[in-house]
Amino acid sequence: MGKVSQKNNDTEENTTEFNLVRVKSTWKCKLPQKVNKDTVDCVSPAKIYESITETGTTWTVVSPIIFTYKVTETQGLLDPSNNTLLLGHITDPQQLEDIKISNKPIRRFIVIDQEVFKIYGIKLTKYLEVNNVVYKILALPTTEENKSMEMALNILNEVNNFSLDRRMEPIIAIGGGVCLDIVGLAASLYRRRTPYIRVPTTLLSYIDASVGAKTGVNFANCKNKLGAYIPPAAAFLDLSFIQTVSRRHISNGLAEMLKMALMKHRSLFELLEKHGCMLLDTKFQVDNSLYGHSSLKAASQATRIAITTMLEELAPNLWEDDLNRLVDFGHLISPPLEMKVLPALLHGEAVNIDMSYMVYVSQESGLLTEEEKQRIISCMVGLELPVWHEECTLELIEKSLQDRLKHSGGLVRMPLPVGLGQAEIFNNISYEILHRAYKKWCDELSISSDGNCDP
């Protein structure tokens, strides 16, 4: 590009674009037309723009950050003959081969939810010992109430004592979404970024927390107020973990699956509408009695569609540069509701209450027919999800939406279904519609008459 003169506020500005090239062990600025790729080791995708005015010099750095991470569905993750947990995150074939022929033992630091450890601790320990792994297992009570910076610092203290190699020894997180979030944040802080691996053990984390880049802990009584966007090196998904999860937690995960169905995929909605009860009964496993192998087929289809649609929305917007996000459906009102009644509602349950109300907003706005609304609510009930809560007051809704304006560039950016499996973002839903929808929502879905239902 060379030099460019621009007029800016009556001050002449000369801007020069530089490429960054590496020669031997050092980087140098070079004008684009003077870069000879045959004489340099490599050319960085980063650029430096130098702007000179009468008042001084400004350097603008443009440095693309590229993350590569894998989401892998596997079976028998804790089978000693399956090396996915130890080596499945490695993308460089030469590095993988070097590790396999090396005499140096593999070292791994593992954080696991303590309830999960009670079930899988013996199996996990045997897996590590059969594979001659030097390991430290830290079992913690990773509940929403304990999702704090204090727990993250506790993890970091143990990681530091283990003397982790931040490049070659990823931290492994095994548990539900809370565990994955806390460990992800801790890893992002240790030596400014240490790779970590996610192993979800609940349905909710299987299709949601495991596949994105968000990490975080609760702070100042707000959900995930402290956090970072750092994706894992890999997420390893094994549906067999789901068989030990309670029916309520299966239902809890189905809420996030239903979210993606309503936003993007009518066939997924119809699958949940038709087979939701079977998925609850079989816990996404092969069932040899009532349902047979059809249960595994439905489970595989549902999880694959949910993960694919989630990745479609997350991958091009990992850092949420674009605030118009369909995946925010069900997350406008649910965070303060969830924190207010903690631990009465699970995350997916709070999300579903939010979605249920928004379905009424959508119908009241003329975006959904009455029949479509009823089908959605019936599907939610069939998935054994709550569709109303007395603490979800109009005051809470209005405050949540006002807070949304503050953190979303002055726009509410409300995702709403405009049909089954279709959605759009809206910024112009009036308070009159919100009030009418709220009254109808309460009248039709509340268990009993309650003062909170008065608009």
| Prediction pTM value | 0.90
Name the residue among 222, 224, 139, 239 with its Cα closest to residue 177. 224
Q: Which of 283, 273, 272, 223 is nearest to 247 (CA)?
A: 283
Q: How many CB atoms lie within 10 A of CB 17?
A: 17
Q: How far apart are CA 196 and CA 315, in angstroms?
A: 18
Q: Which of 308, 306, 348 is nearest to 330 (CA)?
A: 348
Helix axes 347-364, 247-264, angle to 10 degrees: 30
Instruction: Read off the DSSP letter of residue 206.
Output: I
- What local confidence, expressed as pLDDT, does residue 448 receive? 44
What is the phi/psi pair of residue 175, to 5°? 160, -160
DSSP 17-35: EEEEEEETTEEEEE-GGG-
Would you say 431 and 395 are in contact if contact means Cβ atoms under 8 Å apart? no
Arch. (CATH architecture) of 70-245: 3-Layer(aba) Sandwich (3.40)
For position 12, what pLDDT does the model report?
62
From CA 339, how far away is CA 343, in angstroms rounded? 8
| Domain over 248-453 is classified CATH 1.10.10.10 | no
Q: Using alpha carbons only, what angle is made at residue 163 by residues 158 and 129, rounded to the nearest 5 degrees?
A: 80
One-character DSSP codes across 211-230: TS-EEEEEETTEEEEEEEE-
Is residue 48 a contact partner of residue 20, using CB atoms and an 8 Å limit? yes
Catalytic residue list contains 214: yes
Catalytic residue among 147, 214, 259, 373: 214
- Residue ranges of domains in the chain: 3-62, 70-245, 248-453
Q: Is residue 19 a contact partner of residue 28, using CB atoms and an 8 Å limit? A: no
The pLDDT score that the predictor gives to residue 289 is 67
Mean pLDDT (10-residue bins), the chain, 455 residues: 47 84 91 87 93 93 91 96 96 90 93 98 98 97 97 97 90 98 97 96 95 95 95 97 97 98 98 96 82 82 96 94 96 96 96 98 98 98 98 97 93 97 97 98 77 38
Q: In the structure encoding, which two tokens stand for residue 37, read together?
A: 């790729």
* Distance, CA of 346 to CA of 328 (rounded, Å): 17
Q: What is the distance between the alpha carbons of residues 328 and 90, in angstroms, rounded to a whole number?
A: 32
pLDDT at position 455, please? 38
* DSSP-assigned beta bridge partners for residue 56: 53
Q: Which residues make beta-bridge pairs with 73?
A: 237
Side-chain-side CA neighbours of 353 within 13 Å: the count stands at 23
